[in-house]
Amino acid sequence: MSLNMLRAISTAAAVVLLIAAVPAAAEDPFDAHENVEDFAAELEFFKVESDVVTSVSRNPESLWGAAASVYVVSSEDIRKSGAQTIPEALRMVPGLDVAAVDRNTYAVSARGFNNTFADKMLVLLDGRPIYTPEFGGVFWNQWNTFLPDIERIEVIRGPGGTLWGSNAVNGVINIITKSSEDTHGALLRASGGDNSQYSVEARWGGEIDHFNYRAYAGQSSTDGYGGGGGDAVFDEHDETRAGYRFDWDIGEGLVLSGSGEFFNGRHGSTNFAPISLDPVIGFPVDGPDKVKTDLYSGVVRLAKDFASGSHAYVQAGFTYADRTLPYLSFGTDILTSQRSSADIEFAHNFRAFDNHMITWGLTYHRTSMDIEDSPIIRFNFNNSDDEILDLASGFIQDQVKLWDGGELTLGTKLEWNTFTGWNVQPSIRLAHRFNDETTVWGSVARAVNIPSFGENFVSVTGPPDTTTMPGLTFVPLFNGSESVDDTSLIAYELGARHRLNERANLDVSLFYNDYQDVAGFSGSRMSAPIPHPSDPTRFTIITSVDNDHDAYGYGAEAVLDITVNDRVRAELNGSWQTLKHLGNRNPQIPEFKINFRPEFDLTDTLQFVPSLHWVDDVDTPAPFLPTTSSTVVDSYVRVDAAVHWAPHENLPTVSFVGQNLTDGAHLEAVDQLVRPFPVEVTRSWYLRITQEF
């Protein structure tokens, strides 16, 4: 897509918003025949509703009536858990697989295909994708925004491609931050614990007339799970991050808001001497240097609310990420990548014919890669166009009230990208709320996962094999392929929510996923051994990415929420899932998982929140040839606990948090792409002091 087309889309979106942004006294061009009193009543409903979600339909709606497997992690949930990172805060989500690869790296996905580069899980920050198309997935440590500023995290298990686009295949995680209007004053946090870890964070917010603002900064350091300076497994880190947000109420329903993130990190990378490409030339054996990352990101949004109930916004954002990976380098040939992305989005909703809510929008993303290769990993870009991914889309959705308590949602997204061209992602959802106690829903949806830059262009030289045939050396070479196509999913879901009584709620979801053309290194496109031109004992075997295999999965998820009394609450949730891919059953996912978290308000000032996680064993195939070998991660029980003491509103809150209290260490994930040798999660603790002014 040309720069001229980007300008045209930007201009069109701005014009539409300006047309919509007429003063309230003028006629709304999308008038839904709904008066101000009706709209005010609807707003009041959402104020008193205990759980409101926006990620399912892009409109505020009750979680109780949403036609999707959706779960909300509130700001209070994050605080009470004592989580230090967003993945730690997500451990309680039913059906979501969260596993620590090391102290800095997590694998997070729902309903299968979980690894560090989980490319079928779309993650959003305030509705804007932070998914990286470099290899897929999310670099979680880069986006660990200031946790007290998070209002809630909405997690959808199941496809969300109709509204959110490609890669929202197995689920959507939307991290929603607080308005700066809600974060006035100062907040200071300091924590320290074992493995020499510490963290210092500060935030300040205020208001000038109708202009609200906040800014935060923080620095943290840890020796990682290896301890002793991180020398055992090289997963230590030193991180600095900062950010800001402003919300300016201009008047007449117009709000201008913006936010930004800055991150600088130095992370221990791996625990092995890198692959030797030649038996004569070796790599340094004194251990690798740290991975270095710099990230800058910002977004600005202009939104308009109408008394009739319609809403429109246009937003533009950018992200720049610079990464240096010395452990995948050779000599002075250091692997580096610079990723620049820009996006613009317009969305609008309005009521029509009294019982329709129409939501539509346009989106354009551009990602540009600049990569310096190393002998181990190379990107075979043919020209400068290969280094750019353009993605443009439009969507429309209609929420129809069919009868009292019954709502049908129809929608589709039409999307185009430079790698695979056009795709369509439709969905249909039906929900019926029998009364205030029971809701049933069902859905059928299609979603696609588009290839990453890596799947299209990367070449990875694997470790030489000298054992298969004595006297001969086989060097595997794994190549991306520009012929790789989209992976598609047709998902079928059923769910029900029921209030068992005044103190207990039950939420159950069933799903069946049918995957077509799953992209990966399956071995179907493996070349015959290619002899080395100067060494008759050395051969190269080339394997390319293909779409030659399908997969299917099914399962069930359940959540039981209990309020014993004003001081004791508890949640029990669990999931069962089966995935069949490349002849493997349940690759990279646990078949069973159970979470239990009670909350005890021991006194008015003392709170105790333990949590228990039981995770079934996980079979992890080799990354490039998953049919040949695998590593089994044994089942484990993990118990975390947090104690919070708030003696007085003017005094600091003191929190003591222990993690993995049941054993000294256990393995949660294996990902040979980033860590050839497993890293165990060790027992740890920290003390945190929080003061607000």
pLDDT tens profile 80-101: 999 999 999 999 999 999 999 9
- Contact (CB, 8 A) for 505 and 483: no
Domains of the chain: 3-273+286-692 (2.40.170.20)
Q: Which residues have C-beta within 8 Å of that of residue 271, sequence separation ≥ 6?
A: 226, 232, 233, 234, 675, 676, 677, 679
Mean per-residue pLDDT over the chain, rounded: 87
Cα 507 from Cα 67, distance rounded (Å): 12
Q: Which of 228, 227, 240 is nearest to 293 (CA)?
A: 240
Cα 543 from Cα 459, distance rounded (Å): 10
pLDDT for 9 beyond 60: no
DSSP helix, strand, coil percent of the chain (3-state; round to 5): 10, 55, 35
Q: What is the dihedral of CA 139, 142, 148, 154, to 10 degrees?
A: -30
- For residue 648, give the amino acid letter: H
pLDDT for 4 beyond 90: no
Cα 327 from Cα 673, distance rounded (Å): 12
pLDDT for 15 beyond 90: no
pTM (two decimals): 0.90
Cα 234 from Cα 653, distance rounded (Å): 33
Strand pairing partners for 240?
Answer: 219, 264
Cα 199 from Cα 241, distance rounded (Å): 11
pLDDT tens digits for range 172-190: 999 999 999 999 999 999 9
CA 270 → CA 215, 299, 327, 672, distances in Å?
Answer: 34, 34, 7, 10
Residues belonging to the chain: 693
pLDDT for 319 beyond 90: yes
Average pLDDT over every residue of 410-418: 97
Q: Which of 674, 623, 682 is nearest to 328 (CA)?
A: 674
Average pLDDT over every residue of 36-58: 58
CA 366 → CA 320, 341, 659, distances in Å?
Answer: 12, 5, 40
- Residue 78 phi, psi dihedral angles, 5° rounding: -65, -45
- Contact (CB, 8 A) for 229 and 217: no
pLDDT for 332 beyond 70: no
Average pLDDT over every residue of 441-450: 98
Coil vs helix vs strand at 79: helix
pLDDT for 21 beyond 80: no
pLDDT for 3 beyond 70: no
Confidence class for position 270, pLDDT limits 50, 70, 90: low
The token pair at 614 is 């039981």
Q: Which of 295, 127, 298, 223 is nearest to 682 (CA)?
A: 223
pLDDT number for residue 452:
95
Top-confidence residue, 235 or 551 = 551
Q: Which of 281, 283, 262, 263 is nearest to 272 (CA)?
A: 283
- Residue 646 phi, psi dihedral angles, 5° rounding: -120, 85
Q: ∠ CA 631-637-643 to the nearest 5 degrees?
A: 135
CA 472 → CA 527, 529, 531, 532, 535, distances in Å?
Answer: 17, 11, 11, 11, 10
For residue 653, the tally of other CB atoms under 10 A from its CB is: 19
Strand pairing partners for 322?
Answer: 294, 338
Confidence class for position 688, pLDDT limits 50, 70, 90: very high
Cα 173 from Cα 460, distance rounded (Å): 30
Strand duo 630-633 + 618-621: pairing: antiparallel
Top-confidence residue, 527 or 159 = 159
pLDDT tens digits for range 192-235: 998 768 999 999 999 999 999 999 999 999 888 866 544 566 78
Q: Which of 304, 299, 315, 206 is nearest to 249 (CA)?
A: 304
Concatenating the DSSP letter of every residue in 511-533 gives: EEEEEEEEEE--STTBPPPEE-S
